[in-house]
């Protein structure tokens, strides 16, 4: 292999072998019951669930996308990723959503629909729609992850991106299907340790490179990116953006819009296996808190790649015109080339130049030099720097062979920990909520395991095939976080905050929102993300309201049981009488403490991601201010949140005893 030596290949092979071995070892325990398979028997320690949450959110493709924005914008790229990549929904999981879902005692979010809307027609159609919408959403995330993983690996392995995607797919299916949720969290711990090593190594490399540089990082970034305020940490009214990314130039307004979207979305999340599998309300909060701190490691890793990327682009493309000329040479020979095929064409050129005409290779070498194979990955379809490939290009050019295999494994760990979480969650939905509930209620545990295996294979297979429809990583990420999220966000929000909202409202609202987002994807791919979000959200609101008032209210007994166990915030006035006065007082106090803690949680969530970047790029005054904000945030979180976390949920037990 041209870009990996035998040590690198051995490290990657050993990594895959360890994952499969873990799956085999845990198989017997994981498959002893459905509860063990999908939730680890609800006995997994909170810290391990927190590690698993961090690993699930730290995906390879997302890391490449965020690195791309940090390269173009500096630390301010964080604010673009308020749309989904910054993980701000953790704030709501930490304070409210995690514990509200855990209190239900359910196994999946679809099963939770019966708990919320009852076991009649309304509850069952809501449950079915929850399964369908979650499968579509997770499929979108898998498509996005497969595409990015294939794009990444094709720069190092002598195969096209689809072959690399297939390898990731097969290995992930093997160990996820065998060991279920328990296998997911154990392998996530192993993979998190590898990511920590990679972050330290890349950060040290970047700082060493900066120390040997005679100029300033600000000047270097301006020369390479054209961004005049690259080192700034504040969202400005306007920032310079390259062609194709103009919609992000009004950064302040983009930030505010994405923040509003994240708040609405965050108030509807929580139906994740780790929260259903947590042992107490306290553990729901602690695992989210730990997950947030661990996520900051990712930002050390990404800004390290960005710093090295600035040096790399400056060294390789002092004349930016060579990028456009090289693109024209390739398009002149491969006349059918389009944006969707570009990554495969570049991979072929890097690994199999003999498959192209000698004239093309000679022309590329004339433009890029004799080491053109190490440079061409950064040539985009538009004839500019392909910022989505900054991360793998740095790995290819700066990290020495031998160590390169270890860093590759760390990024593979990020990809596969994301794959396994999506696969485990989706197979749980299908097996528990469709097959066992509607098709074969009396199925044995062994039969349910086989159904999980088969569905998992089919699900990832379809996702794999659909990955070929993507133009670039940001294209699919924009649709998932804006168009698709907007179509699903309203019913998920209303189910927790409005007593009158019912199963009919959830079914109609989700159906029309999901349909609208899919139609946008098919017929209006070039629609800006903010327009996608507004359009699909408005349609979701209309469908939810119409469905709610054109169907019967949820039965009073179902609502009382739901409110008694969950005790959510919001428009629940008619249900509050199910609690006695003392219980209502304590519930109000819990709500007020969580509300007062929310601004502190927000600034905590932002500052722990911003400080690593400020320290790495040397803006120490800004880092000191951010550290002060972080300190105040932690004090507020301690006073309003942490010291009120119960060791045991005595109020829930008391309410249940009162009912009896």
Residues 374-394 have a mean pLDDT of: 86
409 HSE (CA, 13 A, CB side): 27
Report the Cα 455 to chain-centroid distance in Å.
22
Q: Residues 636-643: what's their mean pLDDT? A: 95
- What digits encode the pLDDT tens for the residues 528-587? 888 899 999 999 999 999 999 999 999 999 999 999 999 999 999 889 888 889 989 999
What is the mean predicted confidence (pLDDT) over 227-243?
85
| Residue range 245-249: mean pLDDT, rounded | 82
The confidence score (pLDDT) of residue 182 equals: 56
The tokens describing 379, both together, are 């040539």
Ramachandran class of 76: left when φ > 0, alpha when ψ lies in -120 to 50, beta otherwise: alpha
Strand partners, 385: 379
Token pair listed for 175: 């160990």
Give the sign of the dihedral formed by CA 72, CA 77, CA 81, CA 85. positive
What is the pLDDT, as a whole number, of residue 457? Answer: 80
Nearest Cα neighbor of 633 from 202, 126, 155, 292 is 292
pLDDT at 39: 47
Mean pLDDT calculated for residue range 265-292: 86
Angle of CA points 599, 605, 611, to nearest 5°: 120
Cα first-last separation, the chain = 69
For residue 200, CA distances in Å to 52, 194, 602 come to 20, 10, 26
Q: Look at residue 22 and tell me whether its pLDDT is greater than 70.
A: no
Q: pLDDT-derived band of residue 41, with 50, 70 and 90 as boundaries? A: very low
Q: Which has more pLDDT, 381 or 54?
A: 381
User: b/e string for 328-364 if b means 16 or more Cβ within 10 A?
Assistant: ebbbeebeebeeeebbbbbbbbbbebeebeeebbebb
- In this prediction, residue 299 has a pLDDT band, given cuts at 50, 70 and 90, of very high
Count the Cβ atoms, other than its own, within 10 Å of residue 99. 28
From its phi and psi, is residue 77 left (phi > 0), alpha (psi between -120 and 50) or beta? alpha
Within 484-573, where are the H helices? Answer: 485-497, 503-523, 529-549, 556-566
pLDDT of residue 588: 92
pLDDT of residue 150: 76
Query: What average pLDDT does the segment 288-305 reach?
Result: 91
pLDDT at residue number 404: 81
Rounded Cα gap, residues 379 and 369, in angstroms:
14
What confidence score (pLDDT) does residue 373 get? 82
DSSP class of residue 578 equals: G
pLDDT, position 504: 95
What average pLDDT score do residues 272-296 get?
87
Least confident of 222-226, 310-314, 464-468, 552-556: 464-468
Task: Look at 338 and 515; give whichever has higher pLDDT.
Answer: 515
Rounded Cα distance, 80 and 297, in Å? 19
- Judged against a pLDDT cut of 80, whether residue 409 lies above it is answered with no
Bridge partners, 498 (sequence order): 571
The two tokens of residue 35 are: 């509860």
**Least confident segment among 19-23, 126-130, 241-245, 583-587:** 19-23
Say if residues 272 and 166 touch (Cβ distance below 8 Å). Answer: no
Placement of tokens 């996005």 in the chain: 144
Query: Does residue 634 contact residue 321 with C-beta atoms inside 8 Å?
Result: no
User: CA 115 to CA 104: how far, in whole Å?
Assistant: 7
Q: Which range in 8-12, 78-82, 370-374 is most confidently predicted, on average pLDDT?
A: 78-82
Task: Quote the pLDDT of residue 350.
Answer: 81
Average pLDDT for the chain:
83
How many percent of the chain have pLDDT more than 70? 88
Question: 353 and 158 in contact (C-beta within 8 Å)?
Answer: no
Could you report the per-residue pLDDT of 496-520, keeping only the tens digit for each? 999 999 999 999 999 999 999 999 9
CA distance 644 to 264: 25
Q: What confidence score (pLDDT) does residue 601 get?
A: 96
pLDDT greater than 60 at residue 91: yes
- Give the pLDDT of residue 23: 62
Nearest Cα to 105, choosing from 345, 281, 346? 281
Mean pLDDT to the nearest integer, 221-249: 85
Split at pLDDT 50, 70, 90, the class of 37 is very low
Answer whether residue 181 shows pLDDT above 60. no
Q: What gap in Å lies between CA 132 and CA 139, rounded to an integer?
A: 10
Asked whether the predicted pLDDT for residue 421 surpasses 70, the reply is no
Decide if 107 contacts 428 (C-beta within 8 A): yes
Measure the CA–CA gap between 490 and 267, rounded to whole angstroms: 10
Which residue(s) pair with 35 in the sheet?
Answer: none
Q: 248 Cβ partners below 8 Å, 6+ apart?
A: 69, 73, 80, 239, 241, 254
**Higher per-residue confidence, 190 vs 395:** 395
* pLDDT value, residue 40: 47
Sign of CA dihedral 151, 152, 158, 163: negative
CB 565 within 8 A of CB 652: yes
**Tokens representing residue 409 in the block:** 């494994």
The three-state (H, E, C) secondary structure of 470-507, written as one string:
CCCHHHHHHHHHHHHHHHHHHHHHHHHHECCCCHHHHH
Average confidence (pLDDT) over 393-410: 81
Report the alpha-carbon distance of residue 628 to residue 83 in Å, rounded. Answer: 26
Which pLDDT score, from 0 to 100, does residue 38 have? Answer: 44
């Amino acid at each position: 292999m041209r870009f990996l030596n035998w040590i690198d290949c051995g490290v990657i092979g050993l990594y895959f072998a360890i994952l499969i071995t873990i799956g085999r070892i845990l198989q017997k325990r994981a498959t002893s019951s459905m509860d063990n398979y999908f939730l680890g028997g609800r006995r997994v320690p909170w810290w391990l669930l927190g590690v698993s949450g961090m690993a699930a959110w730290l995906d390879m493709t997302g890391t490449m996308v965020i690195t791309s924005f940090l390269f173009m914008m500096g630390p301010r790229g964080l604010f673009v990723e308020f749309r989904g990549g910054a993980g701000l929904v953790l704030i709501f999981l930490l304070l409210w959503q995690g514990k509200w879902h855990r209190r239900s005692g359910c196994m999946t979010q679809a099963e939770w629909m019966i708990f919320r809307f009852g076991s009649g027609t309304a509850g069952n159609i809501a449950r079915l729609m929850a399964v369908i919408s979650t499968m579509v959403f997770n499929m979108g995330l898998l498509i996005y992850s497969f595409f990015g993983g294939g794009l990444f690996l094709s720069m190092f392995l002598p195969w096209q991106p689809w072959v690399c995607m297939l390898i990731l797919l097969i290995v992930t299916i093997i160990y996820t299907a065998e060991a279920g949720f328990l296998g997911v969290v154990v392998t996530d711990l192993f993979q998190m340790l590898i990511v920590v090593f990679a972050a330290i190594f890349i950060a040290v490399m970047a700082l060493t490179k900066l120390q040997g540089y005679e100029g300033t990082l600000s000047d270097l970034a301006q020369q390479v990116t054209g961004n005049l305020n690259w080192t700034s940490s504040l969202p400005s009214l306007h920032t310079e953006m390259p062609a194709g990314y103009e919609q992000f130039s009004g950064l302040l307004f983009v930030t505010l819009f994405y923040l509003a979207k994240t708040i609405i979305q965050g108030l509807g999340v929580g139906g994740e296996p780790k929260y259903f599998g947590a042992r107490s309300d306290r553990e729901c909060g602690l695992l989210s808190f730990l997950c947030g701190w661990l996520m900051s490691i990712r930002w050390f890793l990404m800004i390290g790649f960005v710093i090295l990327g600035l040096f790399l682009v400056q060294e390789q493309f002092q004349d930016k015109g060579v990028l456009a000329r090289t693109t024209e040479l390739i398009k002149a020979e491969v006349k059918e080339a389009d944006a969707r095929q570009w990554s495969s064409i570049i991979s072929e050129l890097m690994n199999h130049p003999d498959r192209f005409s000698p004239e093309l290779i000679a022309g590329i070498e004339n433009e890029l030099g004799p080491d053109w194979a190490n440079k061409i990955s950064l040539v985009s379809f538009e004839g500019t720097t392909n910022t989505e490939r900054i991360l793998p290009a740095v790995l290819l050019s700066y990290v020495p062979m031998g160590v390169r295999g270890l860093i590759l494994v760390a990024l593979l760990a990020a990809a596969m920990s994301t794959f396994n979480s999506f696969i485990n969650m989706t197979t749980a939905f299908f097996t528990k909520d469709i097959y066992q509930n509607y098709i074969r209620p009396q199925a044995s545990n062994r039969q349910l395991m086989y159904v999980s295996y088969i569905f998992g294979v089919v699900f990832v297979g379809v996702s794999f095939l659909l990955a070929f429809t993507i133009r670039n990583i940001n294209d699919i990420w924009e649709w998932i976080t804006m168009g698709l999220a907007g179509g699903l966000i309203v019913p998920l929000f209303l189910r927790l905050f409005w007593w009158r909202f019912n199963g009919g409202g959830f079914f109609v609202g989700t159906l029309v929102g999901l349909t609208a987002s899919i139609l946008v994807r098919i017929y209006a791919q070039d629609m800006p993300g903010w327009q996608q979000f507004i359009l699909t959200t408005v349609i979701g609101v209309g469908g939810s309201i119409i469905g709610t008032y054109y169907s019967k209210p949820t039965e009073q007994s179902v609502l009382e049981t739901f409110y008694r166990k969950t005790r959510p915030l919001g428009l629940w006035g008619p249900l509050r009488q199910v609690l006695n006065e003392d219980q209502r007082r304590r519930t109000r106090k819990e709500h007020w403490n969580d509300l007062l803690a929310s601004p502190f949680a927000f600034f905590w969530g932002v500052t722990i991601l911003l400080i690593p970047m400020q320290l790495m790029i040397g803006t120490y005054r800004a880092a000191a201010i951010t550290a002060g904000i972080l300190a105040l945030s932690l004090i507020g979180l301690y006073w309003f949140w942490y010291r009120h976390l119960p060791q045991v949920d005595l109020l829930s037990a008391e309410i249940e005893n009162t009912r009896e």
